[in-house]
Chains A and B, each alone.
Chain A
Amino acid sequence: MSRMTNGEVIASARDLGFAYRPDRFAVRHLSFALHRGEVFGLLGRNGAGKTTTVRLLTTLLTPTEGGGSLFGRELARCGRAERARLGVVLQSESLDFVSVEQNLRLYAFLWGVGREAAKARAEEMLALFELGESRHRKPWALSGGERRRFQVARELMHDMELLFLDEPTVGLDALTRSRILDYLAQRARRGLSIVFTTHILHEADLLCHRIGVMREGHLITVGSPAEIKRTYRGPRTVEAEFERVLTEAERSALEARLREAGDGLEITALQDDLIVFQARNAEALVAEVARWATALGLEFERIAVREATLEEAFVRIVSEGGRTPLQVAGEDP
């Protein structure tokens, strides 16, 4: 559990499953707990079961296996009272046939927000999501990115404790994405819990306290972005550039030394003044290269171990066989 959250579990899944047909499970054996103030990212390839999971946790679907809870109440028994504490931005676009501004205010009305409060909140959202100039346009006449912004803006018209965002940043430019993520991070710091699905892994890395990776309806792993990267990073890449071009003999000697000490070594470039290689014991090899260079009186222009990205870890997780959940140490299911 992250330091950003407190210990209160506000949503959970316990061996949760859902089958659209008896032999066709969209989600199975899903177990995790979401804490108040936590931003939880659900990652997975298309069809991995992320949207079904969101639908189960928002009570839009009734589990066919297992269970879970929402605000301390069993999922199957949750109703209006629990849903009134949720916000849901669906993956599919939803809209009413009125202008953007009227949509915002009408949605607030549906949620029982007073007229004046709705008016003020609508102005805030129109400004925040840069929809002010489109306020009198119909949502379907907006560009794809504007429509997505509109979806998120509309959901934020009412207060909530837990916000589900199913791919909220699809089709958005980098600047807008960053602005929305900043806003969500700010809201999370003020106690809003968020469940967030995305294919943009950099976003998940920035925003999420914990991440769950799904594959074929199963939750394969849960952990903080750092833990996931560390656990699934695979061989790391080292790039070293020397102050001068190495001789043929020096290159051969360096290669021999690396092959002797390297674990899973793969040299991808060794020419002129440059060497690039991958190895599971990258840090140890950096020290080895440094010792070798010092002995020769060689200096580096640069030497660095490239940090594993979440994307690399994700690719390894979803492309590995088997369905056994690989729980990251220290994380509760």
Chain B
Amino acid sequence: MTLPPVLRLVVRNFRASLDTITLLVMFGQPAFLIVILGTMFNQIIPSVGASGSYVAFLVPGMIASQMITGAVLAGRIFWLDRRWSMVEQIFSGPFRRYEYLAALLLTTLLFALVGVGIMALVALPLAGLPTLSVVELLVILATIGLGATFFGALLIALGGKIRSANLYFTIQSLLQYFLIFVSTVYYPVTSSTPPALKAVVYANPLTYAVNTVRDAFTHHFGVGDLTAGIVLGSLATVTFFLAVWSFKGLEFGPVQ
């Protein structure tokens, strides 16, 4: 039986474009942070809001940040496909452009979910088994899905327009670290957070995704999270169309 084109491309993305070392670094780094940051800060931070322990606070943040990991990996696949003319090769075959784009976004989502699974497993001995209702689990998955679409589409849109590997990977790294550090992945926003920093943190879509996932973990899911979901969904729609626009004008030929 032949798989549908989008799934064939997803399988190819997983099998062909990423080496073991990259995967180990991409998924190993956040897992390592959960263990080290979780253990070390747990000793000096007695409690963080509704989460309780620092580890319990950190784990949902790291889980939510996997949407960035997924987006970075898919963006990397797309860039390498451009660099090594595989985009052109695939487009000259029995595939439509939107199928390649859909496969990249699906790959982003699947990578993010793999990351979520790894983070959950790593966190298990430190934070214990979370008690999540079906609704809370669905909220987490939907948030990861929307976030992965937003960040994945953003990087794909950028990757379709930039012709320099140096520029693309610099932007990607900056975006990755800026988004994670200026969000609530590692620390909460409190009344004593400087207003300027607070404004930047709340302008970061990752913050809303992290807060929603965290609220689901602590059973504090509310209207604010619903609003955050709507905003994230709207942003994901915008970046999706940006990616489509970038794909429509995609130029073939050498990129460096």
Stretch binding the partner chain, chosen from B79-87, B139-147, B159-167, B205-213: B79-87
Judge if A112 is at the interface, Cβ distance under 8 Å.
yes
Known interface pairs A79-B96, A80-B94, A109-B11; A90-B89 also in contact (CB < 8 Å): yes
For the complex, give the distance between the alpha carbons of A80 and B84 in Å. Answer: 22
Whether B86 pairs with A60 at a CB distance below 8 angstroms is no
Whether B8 pairs with A112 at a CB distance below 8 angstroms is yes
List A89-146 residues whose CB lies under 8 Å from chain B: 90, 92-98, 102-103, 106, 109-112
Whether A88 pairs with B92 at a CB distance below 8 angstroms is yes
For the complex, give the distance between the alpha carbons of A106 and B95 in Å. Answer: 15
Judge if B25 is at the interface, Cβ distance under 8 Å.
no
Chain B residue with minimal CB distance to A158?
A: B93
Chain B residue with minimal CB distance to A113?
A: B2
List B63-116 residues whose CB lies under 8 Å from chain A: 80, 84-86, 88-96
Whether B86 pairs with A94 at a CB distance below 8 angstroms is yes
Whether A95 pairs with B8 at a CB distance below 8 angstroms is no
Whether B92 pairs with A110 at a CB distance below 8 angstroms is no
Closest chain-B Cβ to A311's Cβ sits at a distance in Å of 29
What total of A-B pairs shows CB separation below 8 Å? Answer: 73
Closest chain-A Cβ to B52's Cβ sits at a distance in Å of 43
Whether A92 pairs with B8 at a CB distance below 8 angstroms is no
Judge if B12 is at the interface, Cβ distance under 8 Å.
yes
Closest chain-B Cβ to A235's Cβ sits at a distance in Å of 41
For the complex, give the distance between the alpha carbons of A86 and B91 in Å. Answer: 11
Judge if B254 is at the interface, Cβ distance under 8 Å.
yes
Chain A residue with minimal CB distance to B22?
A: A97
For the complex, give the distance between the alpha carbons of A101 and B254 in Å. Answer: 26
For the complex, give the distance between the alpha carbons of A79 and B98 in Å. Answer: 12
**Contact residues in B for A61 (Cβ distance below 8 Å):** 252
For the complex, give the distance between the alpha carbons of A106 and B93 in Å. Answer: 14
Known interface pairs A90-B88, A97-B17; A83-B8 also in contact (CB < 8 Å): no
Judge if A58 is at the interface, Cβ distance under 8 Å.
yes
Judge if B230 is at the interface, Cβ distance under 8 Å.
no
**Contact residues in A for B254 (Cβ distance below 8 Å):** 92
Known interface pairs A97-B16, A97-B18, A98-B16; A110-B90 also in contact (CB < 8 Å): yes
Whether A58 pairs with B92 at a CB distance below 8 angstroms is yes
Whether B92 pairs with A83 at a CB distance below 8 angstroms is yes
Judge if A253 is at the interface, Cβ distance under 8 Å.
no
Q: How many residues of B contact A (CB 8 A)?
A: 27
Closest chain-B Cβ to A96's Cβ sits at a distance in Å of 4
Closest chain-A Cβ to B157's Cβ sits at a distance in Å of 21
Known interface pairs A60-B91, A109-B8; A95-B86 also in contact (CB < 8 Å): yes
Closest chain-B Cβ to A291's Cβ sits at a distance in Å of 60
Judge if B9 is at the interface, Cβ distance under 8 Å.
yes
Closest chain-B Cβ to A119's Cβ sits at a distance in Å of 15
For the complex, give the distance between the alpha carbons of A92 and B88 in Å. Answer: 10
Contact digits for B15-59, partner A, Cβ 8 Å, 1 yes 0 no: 111110000000000000000000000000000000000000000
**Contact residues in A for B12 (Cβ distance below 8 Å):** 96, 106, 109-110
Closest chain-A Cβ to B250's Cβ sits at a distance in Å of 10
Chain A residue with minimal CB distance to B86?
A: A94
Closest chain-B Cβ to A49's Cβ sits at a distance in Å of 14
For the complex, give the distance between the alpha carbons of A238 and B252 in Å. Answer: 49
For the complex, give the distance between the alpha carbons of A96 and B83 in Å. Answer: 11
Known interface pairs A88-B92, A112-B94; A97-B19 also in contact (CB < 8 Å): yes
Partner of B89, one of A59, A81, A88, A98: A88
**Contact residues in B for A84 (Cβ distance below 8 Å):** 93-94
Judge if A14 is at the interface, Cβ distance under 8 Å.
no
**Contact residues in B for A60 (Cβ distance below 8 Å):** 88, 91-92, 252
Partner of B92, one of A86, A93, A103: A86
**Contact residues in B for A45 (Cβ distance below 8 Å):** none
Whether A90 pairs with B94 at a CB distance below 8 angstroms is no
Judge if A236 is at the interface, Cβ distance under 8 Å.
no
**Contact residues in A for B91 (Cβ distance below 8 Å):** 60
Judge if A55 is at the interface, Cβ distance under 8 Å.
yes
For the complex, give the distance between the alpha carbons of A98 and B16 in Å. Answer: 6
Closest chain-A Cβ to B13's Cβ sits at a distance in Å of 10
For the complex, give the distance between the alpha carbons of A81 and B95 in Å. Answer: 9
Whether A94 pairs with B88 at a CB distance below 8 angstroms is yes
For the complex, give the distance between the alpha carbons of A106 and B90 in Å. Answer: 12
**Contact residues in B for A90 (Cβ distance below 8 Å):** 85, 88-89, 92
For the complex, give the distance between the alpha carbons of A98 and B92 in Å. Answer: 21
Chain B residue with minimal CB distance to A140?
A: B84
Whether B96 pairs with A110 at a CB distance below 8 angstroms is no
For the complex, give the distance between the alpha carbons of A182 and B45 in Å. Answer: 74
**Contact residues in B for A92 (Cβ distance below 8 Å):** 85, 88, 253-254
What would 11 more interface pairs be, CB under 8 Å, given A83-B94, A93-B85?
Answer: A58-B92, A83-B92, A83-B93, A90-B85, A90-B89, A96-B17, A97-B16, A97-B19, A98-B15, A102-B15, A112-B8
The 8 closest A-B pairs by CB, nearest first: A96-B16, A94-B85, A84-B94, A94-B89, A88-B92, A112-B2, A92-B85, A58-B92
A and B contact pairs by CB, cutoff 8 A, 28 listed: A58-B92, A60-B91, A60-B92, A60-B252, A79-B96, A80-B5, A81-B94, A83-B93, A86-B92, A90-B85, A90-B89, A92-B253, A92-B254, A93-B85, A94-B86, A94-B89, A95-B84, A95-B86, A96-B12, A97-B16, A103-B16, A106-B12, A106-B15, A109-B8, A110-B90, A110-B93, A112-B8, A112-B94
